[in-house]
Amino acid sequence: MAIVCWTADLMAQNQTGKLSIKPMAGVNFSGFSNASTDIYRMKVGFTGGAELEYGVNPILGLSFGLIYSQEGAKVDGRLDGVVIDENGDTWMTSTSMDGKLNCSYLNLPLMANFHIPAIKGLTYKVETRPSIYNLHGQRLSSLQKGLNIVNGQKIFVK
């Protein structure tokens, strides 16, 4: 899956055949989507790192980066559920939760950067990344029970 975004750089565009290093810092707004409950709220986290870009021609650049990202969600509410034991007996459970789910990631993006010549400093970026991860950052071949990260979105599977 390709992730596409627009960025505005404060520095000059890359020159053909040259390498440039771009420091990055910003803020993440993250949460869990498609969860079966409404106890998850948006969480604000830090993101930062650097990108190394090679200028292929005046319009195209290829870049590789190392980006640290704090993600997760705030948790506030009651989670009700059903437990079935080894004898087949059913038990109702209810848990009050209040706190934060903190997930820290090291991203290694590989991007194609298309510099827009008409507007100096405007870049159109296309990023590719593996699509499904668990909360430990391990790549998965398919969705599993619990929380999954699918193309950057948090998905809960019962």
Contact indicator for 83, 91 with CB cutoff of 8 Å: yes
Contact indicator for 61, 54 with CB cutoff of 8 Å: yes
- pLDDT at residue 1, rounded to an integer: 37
- pLDDT at residue 89, rounded to an integer: 81
- pLDDT at residue 146, rounded to an integer: 82
- pLDDT at residue 157, rounded to an integer: 80
Q: What is the distance between the terminal CA atoms of the chain, rounded to a whole angstrom?
A: 24
How many alpha carbons fall within 13 Å on the CB side of residue 60?
Answer: 5
Contact indicator for 95, 52 with CB cutoff of 8 Å: no
β-partners of residue 157 are: 146
Cα–Cα distance list, 4 to 77, 109, 147, 151 (Å): 34, 12, 24, 12
- pLDDT at residue 6, rounded to an integer: 43
What is the 3 state secondary structure string of the chain? CEEEEEEECCCCCCCECCEEEEEEEEEEEECEECCCCCCEECEEEEEEEEEEEEECCCCEEEEEEEEEEEEEEEEEEEEEEEEECCCCCEEEEEEEEEEEEEEEEEECCEEEEEECCCCCCEEEEEEECCCEECCCCCECCCCCCEEEEECCEEEEEC
Tens-level pLDDT at each residue, the chain (158 residues): 344 444 444 444 567 888 989 898 998 888 776 555 677 788 899 999 999 999 999 888 899 889 898 888 888 877 677 777 788 888 787 777 788 878 888 888 888 888 887 777 777 777 665 457 777 667 776 777 888 777 666 777 87
The residue extents of the domains of the chain are 2-157
Retrieve residue 28's tokens.
């993440």
Say if pTM beats, i.e. exceeds, 0.75.
no
- pLDDT at residue 131, rounded to an integer: 58
